[in-house]
Amino acid sequence: MNSKYQPLFEGYKLPSGVELKNRLLMAPMTHSSSNKDGSVSTQELSYYRERSAGVGAVITACAYVQPSGKGFKNAFGADEDQLVPGLSELAMTIQDQGAKAILQIFHAGRMAIPDLLPDRQPISASAVASEREGAVTPREMTEDEIEETIIAFGEATRRAIEAGYDGVEIHGANTYLIQQFFSPHSNRRTDKWGGSVEKRMSFPLAVIDEVKKAVKEYAENPFIVGYRLSPEERENPGITMDDTLQLVDVLAKQGLDYVHVSMRDFFDGSMRDQDDEESRVVLVKERVGDRVPVIGVGDILTPDAAMKAFETGVPLLALGHALIMEPQWVQKVKDGREDEIRTTLSKTAQTELVLPDPLWISITRTPGWFPVVD
């Protein structure tokens, strides 16, 4: 291995006591390749098996915690006990390759797909549609529904523990339900769940408490609890960086193992102010990095890009597209074969790269998403 990449391969102990073998994780990425009943598919297992050997941990694609929270066709669920065997098989598949297995849990809220819902009606903090073409206006959740959803996150955590996962990541990012409660755009409530920035934190914090409660009750070994967030929204009113810095100050007091900052590019500045070019990931690290570990992600495709990100002081890095295009990314860096890392996708590479059919179709039919070449 080239010695300049050695820091990426140093071990890291999370606050819970779980030890990662290196600083690199597989980022959570939707692949829409589960079975129709929400169970883990054979193609899904093969996809993760191929990508788990090098990284310190794999954060899975998001698993919905309630039937009302389905955000993707052929997503997998953590909402029923009958799904535990398949979840367990996925956890073991990841762990057998030497990585920790982290199940990302979520509810899509107003971003749920109506055709996938029992009553075809998305729900959210308030009856406000997202600012996207074809968006459906959600129904405002009742107090009972809010409490039921909080409990569902705890139940999903219990199932993750029973299935043998090393942890869960609470998905509070990418415009889904937890973020919707924090956002002044989607949360116009005047009860205890909305209003001031502090009140808009109430639902995320209640979810964290319920997850931690499940961990305390069911986990016999150290268990990771992470939280993913998106630092800003384009909408007005929308989440600002000031809002997020207030949120992470509170998150840093929750005993979490990490805060995962969801970005398209690690070094991207503000989406609300083009003159503000400071990395949102770095801003979060500077605010709370001495109190809670931070995971950075976004367009880290080469080892040099990883080192540039790592040198900001962010201790953990998640690889997304890089591991789609090059499942052996980490091993090739470790073996000094970084010049062999693929940075494009050949139209004939699906089988070699062990990519599930639905994901491959999406990649090849979505111009500009991946660098697909002949």
Q: How far apart are CA 304 and CA 321, in angstroms?
A: 15
pLDDT above 90 (res 111): yes
Nearest 10 degrees: CA dihedral of 13, 219, 248, 153? Answer: 150
User: Is 3-339+356-361 in CATH node 3.10.20.600?
Assistant: no
Q: How far apart are CA 179 and CA 170, in angstroms?
A: 11
- Model confidence at 126, in pLDDT bands (50, 70, 90)? very high
Q: How far apart are CA 226 and CA 168, in angstroms?
A: 6
Tokens of residue 250, six digits: 């509170």
pTM for the model stands at 0.98
Which residues are CB-contacts of 142 (< 8 A; sequence separation ≥ 6)?
Answer: none
Is residue 157 a contact partner of residue 209, using CB atoms and an 8 Å limit? no
Catalytic residue annotation: 176
Q: How far apart are CA 357 and CA 44, in angstroms?
A: 10
pLDDT, one tens digit per residue, over 219-274 is 999 999 999 999 999 999 999 999 999 999 999 999 999 999 999 999 999 999 99
Tokens of residue 42, six digits: 């054979």
Which residues are CB-contacts of 179 (< 8 A; sequence separation ≥ 6)?
Answer: 172, 173, 186, 229, 230, 239
- Distance between first and last Cα of the chain: 31
- What is the rounded average pLDDT of the residues 118-128? 97
Q: How far apart are CA 157 and CA 105, in angstroms?
A: 8
Mean pLDDT of the chain: 97
pLDDT, one tens digit per residue, over 176-227 is 999 999 999 999 999 999 999 999 999 999 999 999 999 999 999 999 999 9
Neighbours of 33 (CB within 10 A): 26
